[in-house]
Amino acid sequence: MPKGYWVSVYRAISDPERLSAYDKLAGPAVRAGGGRVLSRGGRVVAHEAGNTQRVLLIEFDSFEQAVAAYESEAYQKALAILSDCVERDFRIIEGVD
C-alpha cells in the first residue's frame, strides 16, 4: 500500500508566536494520527520559482491515514490557530508503491 505524505511550503509567516502555538498542538495531533516528521524547516536550495521559507514533510503509512490525520479533531483544533497567520501551500499526496 502506498504511503501518504503531508507536504507544506510556507510562503509567508506573519505571526511567529501563533505558528509556535500551532506547532505545540499540531505535533501531538500528527503523531497520534501516525505521522512521522521527515523534514521540518531544514536547509533548502530553491530552484526555478522555489521558495526558501519553511518546508515540512510528514510521512504516514497510507494516504488514507494522512487524510484522516488532517481531518482529526485534534489537528483541526491546531489548524484553527494557524488560520490567517501564514500563507502556505499544503498538500496531501500519495506515494508510489
pTM over 0.85: yes
**pLDDT greater than 80 at residue 11:** yes
Fold of 4-94: Alpha-Beta Plaits (3.30.70)
List b or e across 11-47, with b for residues whose CB sees 16 or more CB atoms inside 10 angstroms.
eeeeeeebbeebeebbeebbeebbbeeeeeeeeeeee
pLDDT in tens, 25-76: 999 999 999 999 999 878 888 888 777 788 899 999 999 999 999 999 999 9
Helix (H), strand (E) at residue 65: helix 63-71
pLDDT score of 54: 83
At residue 32, the 3 state secondary structure works out as helix
pLDDT in tens, 83-97: 889 999 999 999 998
**Domain residue limits, the chain:** 4-94
Amino acid letter, 42: G
